[in-house]
Amino acid sequence: MTIIIIMMAVTYIPRVAPFYLLSSDSIPPMVRRFLSFIPYAALGALLMPGSLYAVNSRPDISAAAIIFAGLLAWFNRNIITTVFLTVVAVWIMLLLF
């Protein structure tokens, strides 16, 4: 029973500590801006390697689809439309090339 309580404390303290130690007023704006980009960077690092080989033996089509999806997401800002149109674009590229 003691080990469970110790494990609970070790898990709970690092999760709750930032709420008590850092408030939104104490973080400098430059650091707050830097931290806001981390989820996007982590997501890109996780998705990019798999995206290059999403179409078997056709990394050229995968690269074109990544560029197309990036441009579409930049101008559209709707993830459902971006994913749907990128899938359609890959399908068309596979038919044509």
Q: Residues 44-57: pLDDT tens digits?
A: 888 888 888 888 88
Contacts of 89 (CB under 8 A, 6+ apart): 64, 65, 68
pTM over 0.75: no
Are the C-beta atoms of residues 62 and 53 closer than 8 Å to each other?
yes
Q: Residue ranges of the alpha helices (H) in the chain?
A: 2-21, 29-52, 59-76, 79-96
The SS3 call for residue 23 is coil
Contacts of 93 (CB under 8 A, 6+ apart): 61, 64, 65
Which H or E element spans position 58?
none
pLDDT in tens, 47-89: 888 888 888 889 999 999 999 999 999 998 888 999 999 999 9
